Amino acid sequence: MAERFILASASPRRRELLAQVGAEFEIIPAKGEEVITSSQPKEVVLELSAQKAAEVAGHLQREEAVILGADTVVVYEGQILGKPRDEEEAERMLSMLCGNTHSVYTGVTVIRIQDGQTKRYSFYEETKVTMYPMDREQILSYIRTGEPMDKAGAYGIQGKGALFVEKINGDYNNVVGLPVAKVFQVLESNRI
C-alpha cells in the first residue's frame, strides 16, 4: 500500500503549488490553536509548521503517511506581518512595504510515519522581496479588490499584487506560500 501524502493546510495557494507539480495529495487542515514561543521569524514559522504537521499526524492511526505542514510570514524591519485583520491594517502594512525590501519566511515540517516509526524534518526558506513605491490611492484601490485580506503582509505575489513587486531574491514559490522544489528535494533525499 502506498503511503498517503497529506497537506496539513487549507491554503488554496499551497494546494495549487502541489497540484502544479503533479503531486497526489489529500488535504487535512490542522485546526488547533497556534502557539508561538519565539519572536524570531524563522523560529516562528518552524514552530507553527511543526504544530500543524504534528496535529494531523496525531490523528492518524499509525497509518503510513507523509504529512506536510507549512506556515508563511512576511517580515519588515523585524516586525512579523500576518494576515490583516481589516482594511485599515492592510493599508498600514502595504504603506510600510511600498518602496522597501522585506523578507518572506516559510517554515516547512515533513513528518513520515512508516513501519511504526515517526521521522520529522523541518526547514525554513527566506526570500527577499522589493516593492515599488505606491501612492495611497493605488494602495486603497488594491485593498478594494479584496485580495490582500487573506494574505500575510496584505499582498499576493501570484495575483494583482504582482503589479507592485519590483524584484525578488530567492524562491518565488516561497513567497506564494511553499518552497515546493525544496520540499520535494527533502522528500526524495534520505533526510526523511
With a CB cutoff of 8 Å and minimum separation 6, the contacts of 156 are 13, 147, 148, 162, 176
> What is the C-alpha radius of gyration for the chain, rounded to an integer number of angstroms?
17
With a CB cutoff of 8 Å and minimum separation 6, the contacts of 5 are 23, 24, 25, 26, 65, 66, 68
Catalytic, out of 71, 86, 150, 171 = 71
- The Cα–Cα gap between 72 and 49 comes to 9
Nearest to 36 by CA among 46, 25, 47, 23: 47
Assess whether 71 carries a catalytic annotation: yes
**Residues carrying an active site annotation:** 71
